[in-house]
Structure formats: structure tokens, C-alpha cells
Chains A and B, each alone.
Chain A
Amino acid sequence: DIQMTQSPSSLSASVGDRVTITCRASQSIRGFLNWYQQKPGKAPELLIFAASNLLSGVPSRFSGSGSGTDFTLTVSSLQPEDFATYFCQQSYSIPSTFGQGTKLEIK
């Protein structure tokens, strides 16, 4: 299985901050990487697919980049509703695997 490792595991930031979350794959997954946001007690919600494609309706302050083994999710200016846990997911091979999550907390 392809291992997905996110860093950091948790992050404290303030409204208006720019934050970056990293996801590293144990082998190349080309550009087949998705990002999800999950709030407590809720299902994950898709933000970005295929590394850098913003899902329609997702605010443009979210962006993704990367290819191969290293990927990033950036939030350009944090809003109160962005404090949540973020997961990356590889869709390159079966079984699909997720990162362990990055919890973004208010400082």
C-alpha cells in the first residue's frame, strides 16, 4: 500500500494567516492526490482533486500543488470556518489511502 504522511499533524494559526499543509507519498503517485476538509462530527468534504484542481464552489483561498511524492495544500488567508482537519488521499492505486490528517486550530 502507498503510505501518505501529512505534516504537521496539528497547526495553530490565526484568522488571516497563510498556512501550508504538506502531504508526502511513499512512492510516486504522479498528480493523483485529493484534499478533503472534515469538521467535527461531519463527513469529509472534497476541496481539491488531481493535486491542483479546485472543486466548484470551494473558496479560491484554497489551493493545491505538487506532483510525484510531494504535495501541498495552502490556505491564503484563514477564515473562521477553515478551522478543521484536513486529509490528503491518493487515487493512484488500490487501495486508496489517506494521510493521517492535519488538525488546524485557532491560535
Chain B
Amino acid sequence: QVQLQESGPGLVKPSGTLSLTCVVSGGSMRSTNGWSWVRQPPGKGLEWIGEIYHSGSINYNPSLKSRVTISVDKSKNHFSLKLSSVTAADTAVYFCARVSRIVVVEDATQESTYYFDYWGQGTLVTVSS
């Protein structure tokens, strides 16, 4: 059973850098799966931050792209998130998640799609002085 666990400081000062790590157990990060970060401000909805694949391919949400870095250390079975120049608006529960890709038949053609099938429990990061 794949398990993900986030860790990192729960409090970050404004203008500082938020740094989180997600440890993956019960499965290899050398597979074709991707690894993603999603956040949820208190009482609000979900926002996709970005993802990284075994191939080295990385995608970021354009709204955060200038401040985000996602990296992976396959030898240690973990991946990381750095978000710079944080403000109170970055206060949220941060989740890591596994991205699984599948091929579906769409309009009689094969298409690749994905979903988040395993999630960490989430970690609250508060931005405050």
C-alpha cells in the first residue's frame, strides 16, 4: 500500500520560503507515476500547485510558477516543494499526492489522462510574523 507523508515547518514568516517534503513509502518513485502538490486554504477549495515525473518533466500552475520549485530525490523516495516570497494568502493545508496516468478510449481514440490516487494527510502551513 502506497503511503505519502508531508513534513516541514508549520509556520513561515511573510516574504520567506515555504519548504515541504513528501516521503513516499510502499512503492517506488522510479515508476511512471507523477508526484504532485495540492493546497487548500482553510475552509476553501483545492488548488493544484504542480507535478514532477520520473522522466524529469515538471509542470507548474502558471499562477504560482514564478515562486514554485518542485524536485525529487528518488534515491531517498521523497519529493519536495519550495514556495518563495510567501504571504498570508499562502496559508493553507498542503497535500502531496501521487499522479497515476491511464489510457482511456475517448471518441474512439486512445487518450492519456490522470488522477490523484494516493494522498498524504496534509500539513497546515501558516504564514505569519
Contacts and interface: CB of A to CB of B under 8 A. Distances in A.
B117 A98 contact: no
Contact of B115 (A91, A92, A100, A101): A91
Contacts of B116: 34, 36, 44, 46, 89
Interface stretch (B7-15, B25-33, B58-66, B73-81): B58-66
Contacts of B59: 94
Give the secondary structure class of A's interface: loop
A98 B48 contact: yes
17 contacts: A30-B111, A31-B104, A31-B106, A32-B106, A34-B115, A43-B121, A44-B95, A49-B115, A53-B104, A55-B117, A89-B115, A92-B113, A94-B59, A95-B63, A96-B48, A98-B45, A99-B45
For the side of the interface on A, what is the size category? 20 to 34
